Every structure is written in C-alpha cells, then in structure tokens.
Chains A and B, each alone.
Chain A
C-alpha cells in the first residue's frame, strides 16, 4: 500500500514540477531582496512575483515577514518569485512612498499589478499560496455565490468538459490552498468552481451537509448532453488535501469500465495502482451488451471506491467455474484473484465496501503499529505466549492447595502406601503449562473433596528432581495414578478439570470390572452399577464371554488395562452368559455397548483380535454418530482424518435438522466424513471459525463442509435450501463434481517464528569487528595467527568499564543494581555504553 502511495505522490510532484513554468531553484535564498530599481527592471513578461516594500522592518510586520519568507518556497513551485524590495530612505516612488506601503503586498505579472493584498489577509503560508493562486487563476477557478451562477456554468459545460466544484468554509484555509493547487494543475482540463456559500453546498447535496468542513464534488458534465438533466456528481469522501484531490481526479479521469481481454492476473489499472480493488464482471458473447450495462451501473456505484472491468470469457481462457460471474482483484500483491458467484449488483457493492472498511481498519492498525514501532524498536520482549502470559498474570493469586498434599523425596513413597489410590501431579514450579494444569488440579481437588480412598498430591520436580527421574517423569506436567499393589498409570487425557476428575473416578473401578451376577450385568448396562460411577456420564462396555473364549477375554482384559480411566469396561463370563447374549442377540465373545445418552444397547461380535485392534475398535465405537463437537472432544474425531460436515447452531439444533442430520449420518455406516454439530453457545470459539470462513457472519444454523485433511476448502450449504438429507446429499454430490465454489480455503501456511530473535552474533560482530569470528569460513588461517595476548590486544569492552564508570556513577546512582531488579529497572534502555564504542 504505502509503496503505491509513494508512487503516485511522486508522480504528482513530478506533475507539479512540470506545470511550474520556470523553476527558479538555485538561488541561495528564495526570498530575494532588491532595491526598487533592481526589482522593476527584473520583472519579466509572463512571470508572476509577489513583492512588498519596506524602509526598515517595523516590529509589527515581523510575523508577516516570516510567513511570506516561508511561503517563498511553495510559491516558487508555481513559478512565482517572492521579493522584498528595500526602499531607500529618500525614495518617494509610488510603492515606497505610501504610508501604508508596509501593510500591503503586491502581485505582479510581468510589470502589471494584478492585485494588492492587505498583509492581514496573508496570515500564513496556506493563505498566501491560496490567495496568490486564486488571484492568478482567475479564469480557471470561477467563484460563485448563487445557485444560478453554478447552474449556468454547469449548463455551459455540458457535453464539453467536466467540472470540479469545491466548497470551502473560508478562503485562505488549507483546503482552499489545496483546491487552488489542484486547479493550477488541472485547471485546463476541468473547470474549477469555488464557493464559500454554505447554502450552495446544501443545494447541491441530498443530505444535510456539514457546512464547517470543505467538500469537493466532481461533476461529470462532459457525458451529459441533456440540458435538462443535472450532471452526475461524485463526491470526494476523503479530506480536502492536495493528494486526495489529485487521487480523486485521477480516478474520475479513468475510463468508467475497462475492457479486458487478457489474463486478469496481469491486468493493472489506475485503481489498483492507487490501492483500490478492481472488480471484474465476467461476460460472455451472448450477454455482452447486458453485462456491459451492468458493469457501467456498478462502475457508477463504485466510482472512487473501486475500478470495474469487463472481462470477456470467450477471449480469455479462465480456469474457473462457469457459474462464476464476478471476480475481485485486490491491490495487495500476491493475493490471488477471487472468483465469486453473486446474485445482484448490490452484492458486488457490499463486497467492495466491506473490503474497504476492513482495509481502513487494518490501515489504522498498521499506523498504530508503526507508531508503536517508533517508540520501541520491536516488541520481541512482549510476551505472546497466551499460556505463559495468563499464568504470570495469575501468579499473585494464592492457589487453594490445601486439598493437595505436597510430596517430597522423603515422603513420596510412604504417601503412596497410605491411600488406596494416590494421584500425583509432577510439575515444575517455573513452567507455565505445569502451573496452568496445577490450577485445574486444584479444581479437581475441590470436586473430589471428601471422596474417600483418593489422595491428590503433587511433586515439584524443580525441588525434587530425583523423585521425578525415578518415576520416569521426563517432561512436565505429568499425572500418574498409583494404586496399591498395581502398576501406576500415566494420565494421557486432556488437561482439564472435568476430564481429569472423570479419569480419576473411572480408574477407581477396575477395568474391566468382573461382574458376578446377571443382575449386576444388567445394572451395569443401565449405568447404575457400580454405584460410585452412576453420577458420571459414560458409555458402558460389557464383554460377554463363554468359558471357552479365554483368548478374546485376555485380549479384552489387556485392552481394559490400556483404556483404564477413559472407559468403563465390564466383563461377564459366568455360566449363564448365554442368557445375556441371547437377550441382546449376540453370540459370545461379544461386546455390548450402552451409550450414555439413550442407553440403548448395541451388540458387536468379537472376532480374534489383537489387543491393539481391540483398543482401536473400542475407541472407534465410543465415537458418537452425530456428535456435538466441543473443544474437548474434537481430537477424537480429528483422528479419523475425514472431512467434517458441521452444523453451526446458536444454541441447540432444531429437531428437524437433528433428525435429518442423524439420518444422513446413520444412513452410511462407513462414512467418508464426520457429521457433527456445534453449539455456539457452548463452544463460542465456533464463532471464530465462522469468522475465519466468511467475511460476514452467516445466518444460523449454517451447514459447512470442511475438507480438513485434503485441500482445506470450505463450502457453505446454500442457506435458502432447507437442511434435509436429500438436499444435503445432492449438494455433496455437486461438491464432489466440483460445481461449487469454496467460500474460503484454509491457510496452508507453516507456523513460523512469530517474531525475530535478538541477533547476538551480529551484535558481537558490530561491536568487535576485530574478533575473527569468521575464521571458520576463511582458508589458510592458522592458530599461529592469533594476536598476541597482551593487554593492548584485548579489545573493546574490557577497556570501557573504567572509562565511563565515573560518568555513569554520577548520572544514575543505583543503576548498578540493575541485574538484581530485572523488570523494574529494565524498562529503561541500557547497554548504550557498549554500542557507543
């Protein structure tokens, strides 16, 4: 963006430079001081000069003098010289004699006096430039006072040339100057009309304008031939500055619709150069005329905001969907053209306007960032790790650790013997993730308060590294559950309060649990047995084995060991196991599955499976058919590595949708995708997902297809269609056939370092260039070349301490504590002493 800005800024100055007829740089002083004779003899035909006459400087004229002196440079750009004429005391000629000579400035063109200005009208550079140019451009800039005058001019221009109409609240202002400067350049191209009459402004605009701010309208009179019709007007929306006016006039001067017959990626127009987007209307031979009219219509709407181009598909081989009708090219380099299917022209306009709004915001941000950048060279030292920052912000709060016993090297082993089940959190007190987990752990402790047979404890590995090493804890945090007489279990679930609590509770029950009677088995399937787990929602798995199937049973038991804490597994292998299996229509060995929600029991036959297969199978069976996706359960579904079909919903989903989606999900048992829904109230981060997918929040519920593991395209189910199995299926067919355009594509970007590091190597080299750091690259260097180690050979830093010790001591007593008070004193920049060398 800024590069483009620079480009047209410079081109403008170039223009100005050409426009000024005789640039008179080179004089040592811009303000010449001449005697009257010299002055009048120097006046050339056609050259304008602003002069004032003085005997000697009276104190009152001093401010005026300064202003006129500083405006000399600006005026020089327009070929106007500024001269101070020193009247000799005895001089009584026309300009010197008058008593009020000193209160006036004179504008000459050649030796013709154009205008005399009272010095109080020339109060600053803006007013000087504005008034001088105003006087000189008398023909190019018409001043009007009434609406009739304006209309007369307008009518006269129709069919011939365009008009620039400017309202300034007062003359001599910066805006006035900007208009005059623009008129200097464009005055021969467009007719400039200026007014200071607020009523005129009101008459020319539809709404109630703010009369205190200047305004500029471009009136497209050249195209207007009908005298009865007023000229079309395009208001400039930016502030009246020379650059903005220039930009506006450039845009107005550009063709309304550009016809394009080449690859749109290569097209560049004045709009793109000025940092505005370019909209392509994709046209075909058959509809060319209509498309052209559309393009013109859109172009008028977008005038000043975006360019419009008409692209003939017949002439350009476009590799995009046939249905696409609009394309958007942004000025940012490297951003590919976006092809869209839009319904009406309003959508095109919204598209552009939203875009520019976003850009505006970003620009503001960038500016802010730049500002910050000036204040502080970088923000490398600002924490950008959300976990670390959150933990450090929380560090003053004392954690409620009463429920959690702190174990030491001495107490660790004895503590394990005290309780049936000991949960140990291994952490490091300096490590942020550990501390974040410790916070959740305190919540677990709160939940489990009063639960007998469970001891929650912790070991700080920073204090007791020996215990942690012995317990094979190599990274933090880690949670292990020790049960008397059994091998310990490493927790491998989510670091969340709920998950951990449930894990601890579930692992209290042996896994698999041997059920003794058929009543127990039934109660187990209903989730009522064992009673301590009844309050935890879980899916119950029951292995039913006949006495003959020991192999499968062993595998099941081993799988139970692995899944302990994550699943409840029961096992029934009494003689009457057949009765149970008959009831659920399975033959042993088999698995009965009672899901936490409905408690309907499904039967799955167990074949000869390895332990790993069985674990895999159980994990798979535990997945829901049409789950509500949450932050906690997403990873389980991600592992399937399939595309997601997600219904985003604000709150619970409607019954209809739920039924249809379930039908869709159930209908195809070997789904190629994960059908799920997301409750934005429960999982608000879902909004972040939608925001990333769409420029504007789509109406809810929204059904989205995300190809998560292949290509990353995102498609939105048409909101006007109702969510039914049939509609979705046919939409999915279209997706597969490539007939739909993705709403967006997930970024493929790698995770790069968020910010650069301090380049100490470079700093060392800068500070001590003598240091042969490059030896490794040089050939022929031998150790013998080492400089002799005398005190003089020791370079730089070593000398400096004694040198500025005194100065520093005087300058800032107490600074030598810096190393001891890290953050407190560290805000002030230090280390200059070294770089100064």
Chain B
C-alpha cells in the first residue's frame, strides 16, 4: 500500500488491487528513460519499472571490459546542437543541455560507468517516474471493450504486486545470453562471468566462441598474455566499416584480425557451433572434436576412446588443446515473462533474438504493446542504427508521436510553410537533422503538399515502414501528393566482402548523384500516398515503392549539402518539375516587371513582393545579377559623371540598342505575348 500511495494512482478494478497507469514502461535503460522523457513532457500518466536499484543496470555489468564502442565526439567544429547529435552516439534526447554525454566523459570511446552515471542523472534531473527494485515477472491481458486497445495489460512484479496499464512499452533490451548446447558445453565459460583480468590468462591457450564485438573485445583484453587465441563462429567476420552497420565488428576491437593476418599465432575459424563437442583430458586441457564422433561412442568411455578429428585428418586446425573456452555469443530478448495470450513471438532467421514487431514498433501479436530500444532492432537489423542509443532515441520519439495521435488526438507535429520555402526546408533538414542521419532508410521526413502546391506541411522523422498508414498514424492528410526525405547509402556499395575503398568511389557531379555511395539525401515524390500493397511489393532493398520521381543529392565529403550549384540547384529543379512551377528567387525589381507584364507571378513574388516583403537587394548584388545576365539593367546611360566610360552615345541610341540587345537569359523571365 505504501507503494501505491507513492505512485498516487490507486484504482480498484473487479475487487483486486491494481495500480493503474496509462503507460507502463518495463526497463529503465536508455530507451525506457527516453520514452519516459517524452511521456513526461507530454504530461502523460506513466511509470517505469526497473528491477535494479538504479537505471541502466545492463551497463553496470556490460560491456565486461567497460569500453563503450559508441563514439563520444566532443568536437565537430559546429555549434549546431542538432547536427552535433549526428556524432554523439550516447546522449539521449532532451531539452536539458546538461544532459549531453560529452559532459560525462572525455573519451572518444567512453567507459561504461559514465553511461551508468549519465542514465542516473537523466532520470533524476528530469524527474522521471521510475519505480526501482521492481522486476516484472509476468505480463498478461485483461479484455475490456472500454480499454484503448480492447484490453488492459496486467503486470505482476516479484512481490506479487499487480499493475494495470492501457499501453505497454517494452524497453527491456536483450539481456539473456545466447547459449549453445553441445557435448562438453559445461566446460565453457560465459562472457558474463569470465575473468577480465589478463593475468588469469597468462600463458594459456584460449578458444573463443563467437565473432561479435564482445568476442573480439574479450580477445583484445587478453591478446598480449595468451599463447594464442582461436575464434570460431558460423559466419564470416563482418567489419562495420565495410558494411556500414555499427553492430558489426568495430575497428576498435579488431586487434586480433591484425595478429591473425600477420601470423602471430592467433586465428579465426568458421564452423557451426552446433556440431562442436569439447572433451576434457586428464590434465584439464580441452580438446575440440565433433558431435558426430561422439554419437557413435559410449560417452562413459574415457577420453582416449573418442576419436578426435586429427586422428583422421592430421592437420585439423584446432588440434591443439585449449586451456579455456569462452562463449561470447551475444544476447537475446527475454520472452519468458509474457503470457501466451500476448503472442510475443521470436523473429525468424537471424532475427530470432528479437520479438516480432511491425515497422511501427507495435507487437505483431498484441495491439498496444510497443517494443522500444535494442529489442526493437528487428525493424532494421543489420541495416540501420535502431538497435543502438543513437538510433532508438529517435524511433522512441516516433513511437511516442504515434501514441500521442492514437490515444490523445494530438496529430504528428508539423509546420506549414509557403511553397517558396520548400527547397530551404529540405536543405536545412538534410544538413542538420540527426534522426534522418542516424536512422537512415528507416525514418523519413514527410512533406505533404497542400492544394495547388501553394503550401506544404512538414513532418519530421516518420517511420517509412508504415508510410501507407500515414493518414491514420499521424492525423495529417495527404490528398495532394507528398515528398519523402530520407538518407541512403549507395545500394551496392557496402557489404561484408566489398571493397569500400576502390578508386572513384565518390561521385562528384550532381547529374550522377544517383550513383552516390556514401550516405546522402534522397527525395522521393509520390503523386498520392502509396498503398499497403505497393509497400509490400516494393523492389527488394528499396525502403520505399517506386516513386513518381526521385532525386539524389550528390554525396558530399563533408556531409555539407549547401553548395548552391551542386546541391541546391538540382534539388530545386527536381522540386520544380514535380510541382510544375518555378521556385526561383527574384529581386523586387524583377517582381515589379512581372507584375506589369505578366498576368501571373512566380511563387516567390506572390508570397514575398506582393505581400510587401519583396527582396530589394543591395546595389552590389543587383550589379552581380546584371553581370550574370540574370537581371536586365534598364538604366539609360546618361551624361552625368558617374556613368560608365563608354557613355558617349546619346540616350536615344541607347533606347534603340536596348531594344535590340538580346539578353538571352531573360528569355525565361520576360516572355510576353508580343515578343
């Protein structure tokens, strides 16, 4: 009861005592706290359950060797806070500038303790409602037609306390170690418990199972003291700099690759762990053999009776005995707490460590249950950054926006601009937006056109996977076509066995922008919202179905897409041609001329000049425009002293000359019927 008073929202439903909240979040890790922040900002009724006494309990233990591999770039040469988030992979999103990770660590690869401190501060400074020491051990459903989703979520903690929620946000991460069972797996030490002191490995021969960052991190730690380290795993090593996927092996951990390739005794092997068997000899040495050999034998027989691979194949790679075998096989989602009625199913294939969810992050089995954070990575596994803080901080925000619309009638935030701001809005976003940049190919800015393309509505960072449901998910209407702004790598550029350093990998010319390889902005244009069917049938590897037109902004070495000719001009032409209008800027003088010589005005004059906001421009600029042939100078040359030197012609001559001088670029501007 004391707890109930503390949360202050006691409700009595059907005789049993439930503590009710609109939103329950399980887990006070980065994504749980991030979700809590947005709910708190929106003034929603929520609670976060954390089994530990402090937030971020995973980070209190892991990574074992304490070095985070999310970069903490403290200097970018820019003050744009949004842009800087592109290179800050550890901070969560908040309005509080104290809560930037660079204030917590000076290291480029910070210590995990800094993350723990950061998360504690994040929860405390923002006064997030976290209920610590509460481990949710069971989740079930209660049907109720009045409930938001047709059912309530009933949560039970370790003390049999029950909680009831309308919406459940699962932010438990993936913390259950992946274990492989094979004969002899009892001799294997787990990453969770293995010693991290290198001394304990001095003069030993070590076999590591697994080929992820934890495996290499473990190897890196003991590389200097072991006899040699072998690593075995089913898949080839994938280097993140070749795949552009931050979850693959990061260069910071790959010291062993170096020693392997330089023949310093360490090595990598490929093989299926399921086929493995480990035998311990009398001296305590561990021998590798195959399950195949064991199956034909009586296991009770001594080790000597069991065939080792080297008995038949005397150059078998792992014929040398090992002192230790360490398992570093990563983690999976904890499916155990969910009642079957929630139908929390593991994904298929390499996504089986994650629960099945839709691209909207809602569970496939249960409406109203959203999976956040690392556990939600099935949406973009091995593609984008949704499994990592710098990615899921944005997808969590997207989920919050979806919920605001669904349950509180708050449409997706948007800004309406006149069409003249279209090019600018896009350029601004592609240059600074961090969500688009981190969650490339997953989150997209949406531009909804108003009737006659005179104005547009700008929605930021919408999950493209649910594009077809845009109108219901955002509460915004898209009857007149839309643009999507998204970031992409070149389609065939990255991959595990591709040479990403080949000559001429960078495209420099705007007209070849579609062949850009590095991350660059892509704008899709649809005359109408794609349907679900079209989304389903989209070309493989395309985030979106075939658009009516597409534009690539050419990749840029500095990721600065503000060059007037290479970046902005082709974009403007693309937008103009989609909208069938002229989006150029004009000085007031040109608008004046058009006002008197044309019945219609270009949008820039219409929105600016006609509304008394014309761009008069300084004298110098107007001269430049005249020099460029883009503005005609009608000033007759007179006899006064300040005129140009070639002013000996009379003004009458000038008139005649004016008439016949062809100023070609103006053909586009002045085009009256009579000429």
Task: Judge whether B570 is part of the interface by a CB distance below 8 angstroms.
Answer: yes
Shortest Cβ distance from residue B541 to the other chain A in the assembled complex, whole angstroms: 9
Measured in the bound complex, the distance between the Cα atoms of B503 and A815 in whole Å is 8
Assess whether A756 is in contact with B577, with CB atoms less than 8 Å apart. yes
What residues on B are CB-neighbors of A776 within 8 Å? 530, 534, 537-538, 545-546
Shortest Cβ distance from residue B598 to the other chain A in the assembled complex, whole angstroms: 5
Assess whether B576 is in contact with A822, with CB atoms less than 8 Å apart. no
What residues on A are CB-neighbors of B670 within 8 Å? 688, 692
Specify which of A365, A773, A798, A829 is in contact with B492 (CB 8 Å cutoff). Answer: A798
Assess whether B431 is in contact with A692, with CB atoms less than 8 Å apart. no
Shortest Cβ distance from residue B560 to the other chain A in the assembled complex, whole angstroms: 8
Shortest Cβ distance from residue B601 to the other chain A in the assembled complex, whole angstroms: 7
User: Which B409-461 residues have C-beta < 8 A from chain A?
Assistant: 415, 417, 421, 424, 427-428, 431-432
Assess whether A822 is in contact with B508, with CB atoms less than 8 Å apart. yes
Task: Judge whether B566 is part of the interface by a CB distance below 8 angstroms.
Answer: yes
Assess whether B600 is in contact with A390, with CB atoms less than 8 Å apart. no
Specify which of B573, B600, B613, B674 is in contact with A692 (CB 8 Å cutoff). Answer: B674
Contact A631 B589, CB 8 Å, known A432-B564, A689-B597:
yes
Assess whether A775 is in contact with B492, with CB atoms less than 8 Å apart. no
Task: Judge whether B298 is part of the interface by a CB distance below 8 angstroms.
Answer: no
What 1/0 flags go to B589-630 for Cβ under 8 Å of A?
Answer: 110110111111111000001111111111011101101101
Assess whether A495 is in contact with B584, with CB atoms less than 8 Å apart. no
Assess whether A393 is in contact with B616, with CB atoms less than 8 Å apart. no
What residues on B are CB-neighbors of A694 within 8 Å? 674
Contact A749 B598, CB 8 Å, known A383-B564, A443-B618:
yes
Assess whether A684 is in contact with B636, with CB atoms less than 8 Å apart. yes
Interface size class of A (residues with CB under 8 A): 35 or more
User: Which B169-212 residues have C-beta < 8 A from chain A?
Assistant: none
Assess whether A436 is in contact with B618, with CB atoms less than 8 Å apart. yes
Assess whether B551 is in contact with A760, with CB atoms less than 8 Å apart. yes
Assess whether A708 is in contact with B596, with CB atoms less than 8 Å apart. yes
Specify which of B492, B515, B536, B618 is in contact with A831 (CB 8 Å cutoff). Answer: B515
Shortest Cβ distance from residue B542 to the other chain A in the assembled complex, whole angstroms: 8
Number of interface residues of B (CB under 8 A): 127
Measured in the bound complex, the distance between the Cα atoms of B620 and A746 in whole Å is 31
What residues on B are CB-neighbors of A357 within 8 Å? 660
Task: Judge whether A755 is part of the interface by a CB distance below 8 angstroms.
Answer: yes
Specify which of A443, A474, A686 is in contact with B417 (CB 8 Å cutoff). Answer: A474
Task: Judge whether A820 is part of the interface by a CB distance below 8 angstroms.
Answer: yes
What residues on B are CB-neighbors of A817 within 8 Å? 506
What residues on B are CB-neighbors of A759 within 8 Å? 549
Shortest Cβ distance from residue B29 to the other chain A in the assembled complex, whole angstroms: 27
Specify which of B513, B625, B660, B674 is in contact with A760 (CB 8 Å cutoff). Answer: B513
What residues on B are CB-neighbors of A692 within 8 Å? 593, 596-597, 670, 672, 674-675
User: Which B535-556 residues have C-beta < 8 A from chain A?
Assistant: 536-540, 545-547, 549-552, 555-556
Task: Judge whether A149 is part of the interface by a CB distance below 8 angstroms.
Answer: no
Specify which of B504, B612, B620 is in contact with A492 (CB 8 Å cutoff). Answer: B612
Shortest Cβ distance from residue B186 to the other chain A in the assembled complex, whole angstroms: 38
Assess whether B632 is in contact with A635, with CB atoms less than 8 Å apart. no
What residues on B are CB-neighbors of A693 within 8 Å? 597, 672, 674
Task: Judge whether B81 is part of the interface by a CB distance below 8 angstroms.
Answer: yes
Assess whether A494 is in contact with B565, with CB atoms less than 8 Å apart. no
Assess whether B600 is in contact with A440, with CB atoms less than 8 Å apart. no
Measured in the bound complex, the distance between the Cα atoms of B578 and A759 in whole Å is 11
What residues on A are CB-neighbors of B428 within 8 Å? 428, 462
Contact A744 B672, CB 8 Å, known A385-B572, A773-B539:
yes
Specify which of B513, B540, B601 is in contact with A758 (CB 8 Å cutoff). Answer: B513
What residues on B are CB-neighbors of A787 within 8 Å? 540
Assess whether A381 is in contact with B569, with CB atoms less than 8 Å apart. yes
Contact A749 B600, CB 8 Å, known A386-B628, A775-B537:
yes
Task: Judge whether A315 is part of the interface by a CB distance below 8 angstroms.
Answer: no
Specify which of A358, A466, A778, A816 is in contact with B504 (CB 8 Å cutoff). Answer: A816
What residues on A are CB-neighbors of B593 within 8 Å? 685, 688-689, 692
Specify which of A389, A430, A440, A833 is in contact with B624 (CB 8 Å cutoff). Answer: A389
Assess whether A772 is in contact with B539, with CB atoms less than 8 Å apart. yes
Task: Judge whether A697 is part of the interface by a CB distance below 8 angstroms.
Answer: yes
Assess whether A475 is in contact with B424, with CB atoms less than 8 Å apart. yes
Measured in the bound complex, the distance between the Cα atoms of B316 and A436 in whole Å is 74
Specify which of B499, B502, B585 is in contact with A386 (CB 8 Å cutoff). Answer: B585
Assess whether A747 is in contact with B415, with CB atoms less than 8 Å apart. no
Task: Judge whether A92 is part of the interface by a CB distance below 8 angstroms.
Answer: no
Contact A430 B427, CB 8 Å, known A492-B612, A744-B672, A761-B549:
yes
Task: Judge whether A802 is part of the interface by a CB distance below 8 angstroms.
Answer: yes
Measured in the bound complex, the distance between the Cα atoms of B428 and A408 in whole Å is 18
Assess whether B610 is in contact with A361, with CB atoms less than 8 Å apart. no
Nearest residue (CB) in B for A360 is B660
What 1/0 flags go to A672-691 for Cβ under 8 Å of B?
Answer: 00000000110111111101
Contact A495 B615, CB 8 Å, known A436-B621, A753-B581:
yes
Task: Judge whether B568 is part of the interface by a CB distance below 8 angstroms.
Answer: yes
Task: Judge whether A66 is part of the interface by a CB distance below 8 angstroms.
Answer: no
Contact A688 B632, CB 8 Å, known A386-B625, A775-B546:
yes
Assess whether A706 is in contact with B596, with CB atoms less than 8 Å apart. yes
Assess whether A386 is in contact with B566, with CB atoms less than 8 Å apart. no
Assess whether B492 is in contact with A747, with CB atoms less than 8 Å apart. no
Assess whether A831 is in contact with B512, with CB atoms less than 8 Å apart. yes
User: Which B381-411 residues have C-beta < 8 A from chain A?
Assistant: none
Shortest Cβ distance from residue A295 to the other chain B in the assembled complex, whole angstroms: 25
Measured in the bound complex, the distance between the Cα atoms of B590 and A696 in whole Å is 21
Specify which of B538, B610, B617 is in contact with A390 (CB 8 Å cutoff). Answer: B617
Task: Judge whether B367 is part of the interface by a CB distance below 8 angstroms.
Answer: no
Task: Judge whether B341 is part of the interface by a CB distance below 8 angstroms.
Answer: no
Task: Judge whether B574 is part of the interface by a CB distance below 8 angstroms.
Answer: yes
Task: Judge whether B80 is part of the interface by a CB distance below 8 angstroms.
Answer: yes
Shortest Cβ distance from residue A225 to the other chain B in the assembled complex, whole angstroms: 43
Specify which of B540, B577, B609 is in contact with A753 (CB 8 Å cutoff). Answer: B577
Nearest residue (CB) in B for A813 is B503
What 1/0 flags go to B637-675 for Cβ under 8 Å of A?
Answer: 000000000000000000110111010110010111111
Shortest Cβ distance from residue B9 to the other chain A in the assembled complex, whole angstroms: 33
What residues on B are CB-neighbors of A802 within 8 Å? 499, 502
Specify which of A386, A462, A696, A795 is in contact with B584 (CB 8 Å cutoff). Answer: A386
Contact A754 B622, CB 8 Å, known A380-B573, A696-B659, A805-B502:
no
What residues on A are CB-neighbors of B518 within 8 Å? 819
Assess whether A636 is in contact with B612, with CB atoms less than 8 Å apart. yes
Assess whether A383 is in contact with B511, with CB atoms less than 8 Å apart. no
Measured in the bound complex, the distance between the Cα atoms of B540 and A782 in whole Å is 11
Assess whether B595 is in contact with A708, with CB atoms less than 8 Å apart. yes
Measured in the bound complex, the distance between the Cα atoms of B659 and A475 in whole Å is 40
Assess whether A834 is in contact with B515, with CB atoms less than 8 Å apart. yes
Measured in the bound complex, the distance between the Cα atoms of B589 and A386 in whole Å is 11
Assess whether A756 is in contact with B573, with CB atoms less than 8 Å apart. yes
Assess whether A760 is in contact with B596, with CB atoms less than 8 Å apart. no
Task: Judge whether B486 is part of the interface by a CB distance below 8 angstroms.
Answer: no
Nearest residue (CB) in B for A442 is B618
Measured in the bound complex, the distance between the Cα atoms of B578 and A834 in whole Å is 26
Which residues of B pack against A, CB within 8 Å?
78-82, 415, 417, 421, 424, 427-428, 431-432, 490-493, 495, 497-499, 502-515, 518, 530, 534, 536-540, 545-547, 549-552, 555-557, 562-566, 568-570, 572-574, 576-578, 580-582, 584-590, 592-593, 595-603, 609-618, 620-622, 624-625, 627-628, 630-636, 655-656, 658-660, 662, 664-665, 668, 670-675
Instruction: Please list the 6 inter-chain residue pairs (A to B) with the smallest Cβ-Cβ separation, ordered nearest first.
Output: A819-B506, A496-B616, A798-B492, A831-B512, A430-B562, A818-B508
- For this complex, 17 residue pairs linking A to B, each with C-beta atoms less than 8 Å apart, are A368-B664, A384-B630, A385-B572, A388-B569, A496-B617, A639-B610, A687-B634, A687-B658, A692-B596, A754-B576, A760-B514, A760-B550, A805-B502, A805-B503, A808-B504, A820-B557, A830-B507
- In addition to A431-B427, A687-B636, A695-B674, 13 A-B residue pairs with Cβ atoms within 8 Å of each other are A387-B586, A387-B625, A474-B417, A494-B613, A631-B614, A631-B616, A753-B580, A797-B491, A805-B504, A816-B506, A819-B518, A819-B556, A822-B566
